Structure 1
Amino acid sequence: MLALRLTLESFRFAWEALKSNLLRTILSLLGVTVGIFAIIAVFAVVDSLEANVRQSMSFVGDKVIYVGKWPWAFGGDYPWWKYFNRPVPSVREFRALQRNLGPNNKGVAIFAAVGGSTLKNGSNSVADCALQGVSFDFRQVSDVPITEGRYFTAQEIEASRNVAIIGATVAESLFPYGSALGQEFKARGRKFVVIGVMQKEGKKILDTPSNDTNCLIPFGMFTKMFALNTGGMTGVTPTIAIKGRDEDPGLLDLEYELKGVMRNIRGLKPREEDNFALNRPEMMADAITKLFSIIGVAGAVIGSFAMLVGGFGIANIMFVSVKERTNVIGIQKSLGAKNYFILFQFLFEAIFLCLIGGAVGILLVFVITLIPQDAMPLALSAGNITLGLTVSVVIGVLAGIIPAVLASNLDPVIAIRSK
């Protein structure tokens, strides 16, 4: 109880000292405010930028392996013409993968897209849309956030029916005065019935495919409208994607199985090299993580210089405060105040200053996050708030410890005579 009472007394003395020199207190905490604002603002921008980039790349899915003709990353001395001569994925291979892959996958999908399409509903039309033919398991490998209606049924996909799931921008343009569900529109002379509307995504920081101007239709219907590439220079090239399981870390089991099945489907002999590429979004995710880690460290170093200046300002004010209150310290010690009581008194004062400055800096960052941003909305995470307050406490301890120790070690007789 004694220790708690003395601690509370130290807090009270520190608070009274800060209130008695209000202007000096405000000027002192400005340096910490600027420093914390700089550091937390940098981390908030980096976190928001990374989140937006990852959201922009969400169309590639998570824990997915893509079977394609070209690798996403070229390496080694592999001749380019061997990539060029590889066969493209086909519907036959998609069916074979569905039949032959074991329990290491959650779904196999095939899809293809054509951009620049115009959709019409009477006098309303929307241009430059992406028509995308998908199989039933497409929602397993890619994000299809439906806010109205539903996804395709297996029967609709197999029967290649004239149904569609459209993006929010398409729905607003074609059906501005009511719900799009159950309404009809035309694409390349064919009528489609809307069974679902996807969630609005808005602007993306990267120029990546957006669901807002996308139109999903059954893959069979897509093949009736567009010719698929069968290995030549013309036609739409489909993509095959396989969704892995959470129980398969790194998707190693799925990759080994998929490689063996694909080699068997294409009739490759044991000594023949693969004529297909297995691409994984993790390659891009790892690159993004490394990039933003570097940006975050660089931003923290830059912000720490401002924090350093604020720390020196707090330390300077604390030395002045000790000098001004030397006589009071002598009186307190003569009345029985312990050294740690005097030490806590000045240490808490420094921590108070830094915490108030840090809180103001965090508040300024929060105010900035409230400003509407279409391309990259900023967000202040609980982790960044905790980091800002923790850094404030650390700076307060480092800036106040030396003045506090000097104050606690003053001789009471000399201190009383200081005036």
Structure 2
Amino acid sequence: MKAVLPDSKIPKRWYNILPDLPEPLAPPLDPETDEPMEPEKLLRIFAEELVKQEMSTERYIEIPRKVRELYAKIGRPTPLFRATNLEKALGTPARIYFKYEGATVTGSHKINTALAQAYYAKEQGIEKLITETGAGQWGTALSLAGALLGLKARVYMARASYAQKPYRKTIMRLYGAEVYPSPSERTEIGRRFLREDPNHPGGLGIAISEAIEDVLRDGNARYALGSVLNHVLMHQTVIGLEAMEQMREFEEPDVIIGCVGGGSNFAGLAYPFVKEVLEGKADYKFIAVEPRAAPTMTRGVYRYDFGDSGGYTPKMKMHTLGHTYYVPPIHAGGLRYHGLAPTLSVLINHGVVTPVAYHQNDVFRAAELFTRTEGIIPAPESAHAVKGAIGQAIRAKAEEREEVILFNLSGHGLLDLKGYEDYLDGKLEDYEPEHFPALGG
């Protein structure tokens, strides 16, 4: 069972959750003064239109026609499937649906915001976009967006993933991007981390610092971000807007699930449904799934912190493990992040979203079952949502109740097979970190 929409159903507007949040976001702070950040200072880092969108209180923002045309070119609208074989294997009365973002040409949801950010940069006359990437899905997406819109791209890829996922960097290079392992020798912050540990596995926080440092020394470049900030999460809401339309062909969901690193793929599916809950029109349950090795939602604290490891970004009030947290080298590289989207942090604080955390071996076991029943190999990041959906379906079975579960399968794992090989060979390590800088120990 599946629902496929025609190109004419590609959403014409993104949903902006800011005006509907239970409380206003705390303002970002200038890292030099600790005072609220002046928007003008962000213009040296981001394209101007993105800064406007970040601050906008408009509930809906129009998607430019060119971006919608590019969405159609890369595979939007994406299909929605019912996981009937998985349901049978679990023996559950629950009905499980998933929105499959792996159907895009780059294999993940990240292309949704990459095209938007590249479009606005091109319109402004910017020549180059510089970014970070964890597992490589975001770097891949921005590399293609740059190629389609005539922009140069440079990507700092977390060193652990650079080694674990060599074909990701090959694809980025085929799309015309430069790719460097992070920490690298190209930046002062990269050299600092390498002096401390020549074998440092890197992480999104360090790669963000390197990208921003690089941007600040190149007047023709701007930074592109793959998650966390509101404009990025907003661009991803095409996922949920499509899913709402598709689920009308079947039934209303009861539970909506996504994995979380910074928050973009969870928000992309969930935020249009969250709007209905905040307006009192529905009572959906939301589950956000993270790795136990980077338990930002379940063990982090809500306070101001840098979004990067080097202290270059504005300080944001969010759930954080501390920007100096040494994230273990799990295979879900896109979830190896110390912080969380401020908007998602607010929703967790108000009990709208429930976070859970799992070890990577449990996640890979769930992914193996999903692969054998549904035929799709999930990305290690997306497999966290699979694990969350299976756990919810098993609870429904134990309680002998029907339930409709919808989750975001945000990417395929065909370029992540080293992680699956390690899992099948019994070589995956489960990490139970104890030192969180944000907690003081």
Q: Is the TM value for this pair above 0.5?
A: no
Q: Which has the higher helix share?
A: 1
TM-score scaled by structure 2? 0.19
Q: Report 1 or 2 for greater relative contact order, CA contacts < 8 Å, sequence distance ≥ 6.
A: 1
TM-score scaled by structure 1? 0.20
